[in-house]
Homo-oligomer: A and B are copies of this chain.
Amino acid sequence: MLNPRLPAIWYGADYNPEQWPEAVWAEDVRLIQRAAMNCATIGVFSWVLLQPGPDRWDFGWFDRVIEGLAGGGLSVILATPTAAPPAWLCRAHPEILPVDAGGRRLWWGSRRHYCPNSPAYREAAREIACRLAERYGAHPSVVLWHIDNEYGKVCYCDQCATAFRSWLQDRYGSLPALNDAWRTAFWSQAYDDWEEILPPRATPSFHNPGQVLDFRRFVSDSYLGCFLEQKAVIRDHSPQVPVTTNFMGWFKGADYWSWAPHLDVISWDSYPPPGAPPYLPAAWHDLMRSLKRQPFLLMEQSPSQVNWMPCNRPHPPGALRLQSMQTLARGADGICYFQFRQSSGGPEQFHAGIVPHAGAERSRVFAEVAELGAQLHSLGSRTTGAEIRARVAIVFDWASWWAMEQPPMITAELSYREEILRYYRAFWSLNVAVDFVRPTDPLDRYAMVVAPVLRIVTEEIAGNFERFVRGGGALLLTFGSGLTDGNDRAHLGGYPGLLRELFGIWIEELDPLCDDAAEQAGGTVGECTCRRWCDAIHLEGATALATYRSGFCAGLPAITEHRCGEGKALYIGTAPDDAALAALLAGYAAPLDITAPLQVPSGVEAVQRWSGGQPLTWVLNHTRDEATIRLPEPVRDLLTGRDLAGDVQLASQDALLLGSLED
């Protein structure tokens, strides 16, 4: 449960009334209520209106917004407005402005125009957070603190350089240790004085990859530092209210695993592109839920089109409800929108709002939002707090991602997220529940763990994996794994380095296939088409399940299995086609009793959460046709209250939420 003060499913929106005359605000509250919402997020970008000058504060209008919401029985998610410093602040402290890798200073007049390591920025941000916490921290309607907004952009300024050096001193203690970690001996890159170290600014040729990897960690930590500073001042004045910041899914700019322990609630913003396959937001939700293995809050989704893609189409009818149900199914305890009333001007003018330019009254979008609200309202707290019981985990590791896609690259055609999705998609198509884990997490709760392209493998990871396999787990590793250590230094003696013995193989050479070229492989697991990469594998104890039939690696194993203790270590040295991969995984899943909650037709998603020992099963029809759902026993659809049994027809875009007949 996100906050016991609001035990139902949270349903709300970013609400930015400062864009409208106060006369509109009362109407807003009525419309929020009519949409069956129970909360609203305020203040996200309100800095300049709350603090119009260095020593000028104006909380009056904000008081009235909050009282209006509270008066309407609505809870408040209170944002600190620090994602967009006012012009007056930037003008007084130009060093707040971020600088790009080429030394170009960026300007105000947009958003996120600040350096996370600017002392002046940090002080001003702490101050306004403090004022807000003092004033509203004990307000009974405030149910969540939302710090800043979508932390991210990279800055390369001198303040960052100074902070980076300090971060490196903490990490390495001495320059020899840093020089060794970064392997600076080549290209004359060794450092003799901490002051010589720079962010990876524009250079004539490739950067040192160790420097870049650490800088990525440092940037993530820099923003985490911003968050923690605000959290601390908020905690002082508002100890009872949980704190979050809104994440962005598998966002490359921050290692969310390292952030998660510091957030009371995970919240995030989901903007699947129109036409995106349904497994894509499913993967995002699963990752966000896995960060704390707790229900999360969807802080933002668009009620219809967005405005920042090259071409922004509206949601077709029904799409909003289906994607919202999927969000709940995948672990959300709340669903919010950006934004309530569509801006009449400014940079988000043509981003959809729940109340569109045409007005709420005759609006399809408003009607859909309100209808969904009513349905969620009818569920009460039936689903909140319910857990997902996954017996499969996929390893998601920001460091491996960063290292794998950092020039110079083995191949620029490889996408870490695409490889993660390759395995996720296979399980999704089998309706098998999946958690994401970091490679050092305890794995004993899982029957099967998949680690795609886990480039970086440390001693700790290797030990964790070995324990898992010896204990009976099925561990699947792919090409591009075990190449390097925690500083991205190559493991010598053959890849996958520290995992060679566990997998009973060694890899001599790496062949990235270019331009979507394909090779063939086959064996006891059947035939498969191989793309992206082929490892030249040599067996040292493992068994070949498939062998390359063509290409540079022809004759060498493509897929191997090694039994070790009670478990199995499966290695896939290429990117197999979807059908071959699904068959392979299904073959492994069956004996491990990894199953779907319900057998459903292709394109229909079945997901289960458990509440009070009882399963709740969402069935979501993503296809364009009606689907027949065969129910093994009578159940009740909690969305409609109907009891169902036998073959049930589910319309395209429609959803069921199956509980027991007692529900």
Contacts and interface: CB of A to CB of B under 8 A. Distances in A.
A512 B187 CA distance: 44
B207 A357 contact: no
A537 to B, nearest CB: 11
Contacts of A197: 87
B186 A347 contact: yes
Contacts of A510: 305, 314, 350
A295 interface: no
Given A207-B347, A308-B408, A357 B494 contact: yes
Nearest to A492: B357
Contacts of A52: 190, 192
A186 B16 contact: yes
A188 interface: yes
A107 interface: yes
Interface string A575-586: 000000000000
Q: Which of A16, A85, A184 has the most CB of B within 10 A?
A: A184
Interface in A84-105: 84-88, 91, 98, 102-105
A104 B313 contact: no
Interface in A72-88: 81, 84-88
Interface in A174-197: 182-193, 195-197
A648 interface: no
Interface string A194-214: 011110111111111111000
A539 interface: no
A49 B512 contact: no
Contacts of A187: 45, 84, 110-111, 346-348
Contact of A346 (B87, B198, B208, B494): B208
A294 interface: no
A345 B485 CA distance: 10
Contacts of A590: none
A415 to B, nearest CB: 13
A510 B408 CA distance: 42
A30 to B, nearest CB: 17
B191 A87 contact: yes
B307 A357 contact: no
B508 A364 contact: yes
Contact of A108 (B185, B198, B358, B484): B198
A304 B512 contact: no
Contact of A514 (B85, B311, B345): B311
Nearest to A56: B192
A113 interface: yes
A511 interface: yes
A145 interface: no
A243 B186 CA distance: 23
A507 interface: yes
A150 B92 CA distance: 39
A237 interface: no
B102 A411 contact: no
Interface in A307-346: 307-308, 310-314, 316, 342-346
A495 interface: yes
A173 to B, nearest CB: 19
A495 B358 contact: yes
A491 interface: yes
A49 to B, nearest CB: 6
A412 interface: yes
A104 B308 CA distance: 26
A227 interface: no
Contacts of A412: 310-311
Given A204-B98, A356-B509, A358-B506, A490 B48 contact: no
A552 interface: yes
Nearest to A104: B102
A349 B362 CA distance: 62
A304 B509 CA distance: 10
B493 A113 contact: no
Contacts of A170: none
A117 to B, nearest CB: 15
B109 A208 contact: yes
Nearest to A493: B359
A626 interface: no
A98 B106 CA distance: 18
Nearest to A411: B311
A345 to B, nearest CB: 3
A124 interface: no
13 contacts: A84-B188, A87-B196, A109-B189, A109-B207, A109-B208, A111-B188, A310-B514, A311-B515, A316-B552, A351-B408, A356-B508, A357-B491, A358-B507
Given A84-B187, A311-B515, 20 more contacts: A49-B185, A49-B190, A91-B193, A109-B189, A111-B204, A183-B344, A185-B346, A187-B346, A206-B347, A209-B346, A314-B552, A345-B484, A345-B488, A350-B409, A351-B408, A356-B508, A356-B509, A358-B507, A362-B508, A362-B538
